[in-house]
Amino acid sequence: MGGEVYRFGEYTLDCARHQLRRGAEPVHLEPRVYDLLCYLVARHDRLVPKEELIDAIWRSQFVSEASLTTAMRAARAAIGDDGSQQRAIRTVHGRGYQFIAELSPTPPSAPQIPSPEAQNIRFCRAADGARIAYATVGSGPVLMKAANWISHLDAEWQTAIWSHWILGLASERQLVRYDERGCGLSDWEVESFTFEDWVRDLETVVDTLGLERFPLLGVSQGGAVAIAYAVRHPERVSALVLAGAYSQGRLVRAATEAERAAAAIDLELARVGWAQQDPSFLRVFASQFLPDGTPDEWSEFIEFQRQTTSPENGVRFLEAFATIDVADIATRVQCPTLILHSRGDVRVPLSQAAELATSIPDSRLVVLDSPNHLLRADEPAWPSFLAHIDDFLADVSS
């Protein structure tokens, strides 16, 4: 819906981040209502026909005018307007709508965009001597991100798979992330390679930076690491954000003989596919992370993995992931928790998010309209993902 920031009255509408604020307070809206409001504001110089709005906001889905009317009512309510007063959105019956509120002539200053050049990469050593690379980028309140499936602090900026994650998460805050042992700029050759090591690596980075209290983000298996850290250090973690996360690896959560057999076969295929760098397997593996990705995006994902770790370590990671189990300790998380999960995630099923939401006391689940385990920059779920994180962190810090 565009990347402009608009101000009218006491409201600020940031279309790039799906964010509406009244003064300093966030105003919560459904994603399509954000899109509707942004579309109208961006075209405030003309009347927008109903048919155009339906095509632009609902795309290929068949919806009735009643859906548009309902969304319009929510948009008006969010900005202190209604169908009778029409101080902000004017209705031309039988034709369409026009945004008529006066826009501020002076747009707010644009936030600084994080860049690879502004990233500060440093190193620390874990208790067993493993060298761990970590990076800070952006400015503002700290957001600590637990490491997830093979990363590379430098190469992530050059791939469309991850670059928008850094840009989005580091906007108006300082993002701290690190390469876990075995990949990226951290040591690849390490003797110990366990879940406990991953939690201790996170502890090492936090202690090195001297962070006292901060929100913690865990993506995919990084969610389990974040949960374990939050339970051990409740005085440090102010809030927890879990994205595409799970409490139990596939071997652990298999409840029937058939599921256990399927999990074992899946792991064995992964061992062979990764060890031999089999192109067919790697293509299927990539498609599990990005089901609606293009062949070029799958190839880019495969190449990024090759840059990031060795085939041997790829196997070690997958074997360790399958046996993760933080189900028992998840009940002991003490901080507010936001759980974000794609509805069609085939890598980590939505049922795992539901399990987390059931186990973690002060938690809420947001289901995103996406099939992807790793959200793409150009899908509607991505700005919604960022907006939910922004709103949640604003709420818990107020």
Domain contains 104: no
Asked if 175 and 85 sit in the same domain, the reply is no
Q: Which residue has the higher pLDDT, 281 or 137?
A: 137
Q: Are 74 and 33 in contact (CB under 8 A)?
A: yes
Which of these three, 69, 99, 129, is where a domain ends? Answer: 99
In 3D space, the residue among 306, 300, 274, 272 whose CA is nearest the CA of residue 287 turns out to be 300
Asked if 244 and 369 sit in the same domain, the reply is yes
Q: Are 183 and 152 in contact (CB under 8 A)?
A: yes
In 3D space, the residue among 163, 171, 116, 109 whose CA is nearest the CA of residue 140 turns out to be 171
**What is the rounded distance in angstroms from the CA atom of residue 232 to the CA atom of residue 332?**
9
Residue 386, helix vs strand vs coil: helix
The chain-wide mean pLDDT, for the chain, equals 90
Domain contains 210: yes
**What is the rounded distance in angstroms from the CA atom of residue 277 to the CA atom of residue 290?**
19
Domain contains 107: no
pLDDT at residue 43, as a whole number: 92
Sequence-ordered list of residues with C-beta below 8 angstroms from that of 45, at least 6 positions apart, any chain:
none
Weakest mean pLDDT among 25-29, 129-133, 134-138, 188-192? 25-29
pLDDT at residue 112, as a whole number: 62
Asked if 10 and 91 sit in the same domain, the reply is yes
Residue 359 has pLDDT above 60, yes or no: yes
The pLDDT tens digits for 173-183 are 999 999 999 99
Could you tell me the pTM of the whole model?
A: 0.76
Q: Which residue has the higher pLDDT, 167 or 271?
A: 167
Residue 15 has pLDDT above 70, yes or no: yes
**What is the rounded distance in angstroms from the CA atom of residue 331 to the CA atom of residue 101?**
48
Domain contains 105: no
Asked if 382 and 277 sit in the same domain, the reply is yes
Asked if 69 and 203 sit in the same domain, the reply is no
Q: What is the identity of the amino acid at 142?
A: V
Domain contains 282: yes
Cα 136 from chain centroid?
18
Q: Are 236 and 211 in contact (CB under 8 A)?
A: yes
pLDDT-based confidence at residue 113 (cuts at 50, 70, 90): low
Asked if 125 and 250 sit in the same domain, the reply is yes
**Domain containing residue 287: CATH number:** 3.40.50.1820
pLDDT at residue 3, as a whole number: 54
> Please, what is the end-to-end C-alpha distance for the chain in angstroms?
29
Q: Are 373 and 347 in contact (CB under 8 A)?
A: yes
Quote the percentage of the chain above a pLDDT of 90.
58
Residue 61, helix vs strand vs coil: coil
Query: Which residues are 215's β-sheet partners?
Result: 239
Q: Which residue has the higher pLDDT, 260 or 350?
A: 350
286 vs 189, 311, 312, 342, CA distance in Å? 25, 15, 18, 16
Asked if 76 and 182 sit in the same domain, the reply is no
Domain contains 106: no
Q: What is the identity of the amino acid at 238?
A: S
Asked if 194 and 328 sit in the same domain, the reply is yes
Domain contains 188: yes
Weakest mean pLDDT among 11-15, 104-108, 235-239, 289-293? 104-108
pLDDT at residue 97, as a whole number: 94
pLDDT at residue 289, as a whole number: 93
**Domain containing residue 62: CATH number:** 1.10.10.10
Q: Are 189 and 342 in contact (CB under 8 A)?
A: no
The pLDDT tens digits for 198-240 are 999 999 999 999 999 999 999 999 999 999 999 999 999 999 9
- H or E element that contains 133: strand 131-137
pLDDT at residue 56, as a whole number: 84
Asked if 66 and 183 sit in the same domain, the reply is no
Which of these three, 45, 67, 99, is where a domain ends? Answer: 99
Q: Are 107 and 14 in contact (CB under 8 A)?
A: no
| Range of 3-12, 266-275, 333-342 with top mean pLDDT | 333-342
Residue 110 has pLDDT above 60, yes or no: no
Neighbouring C-beta atoms of residue 340, cutoff 10 Å:
24
128 vs 24, 131, 321, CA distance in Å? 46, 9, 21
Which of these three, 70, 99, 128, is where a domain ends? Answer: 99
Domain holding 12, by residue range, is 5-99
pLDDT at residue 213, as a whole number: 96
Angle, in degrees to the nearest 10, between helices 50-58 and 65-78: 90
Asked if 265 and 350 sit in the same domain, the reply is yes
Sequence-ordered list of residues with C-beta below 8 angstroms from that of 254, at least 6 positions apart, any chain:
260, 262, 263
Residue 317, helix vs strand vs coil: helix
Domain contains 109: no
Asked if 37 and 167 sit in the same domain, the reply is no
Mean pLDDT, range 326-345, rounded to an integer: 97
pLDDT at residue 142, as a whole number: 96
pLDDT-based confidence at residue 162 (cuts at 50, 70, 90): very high
Domain count, the chain: 2
277 vs 148, 269, 310, CA distance in Å? 21, 11, 10
Residue corresponding to tokens 């790793």: 374
Asked if 314 and 343 sit in the same domain, the reply is yes
Residue 208, helix vs strand vs coil: helix
pLDDT at residue 106, as a whole number: 47
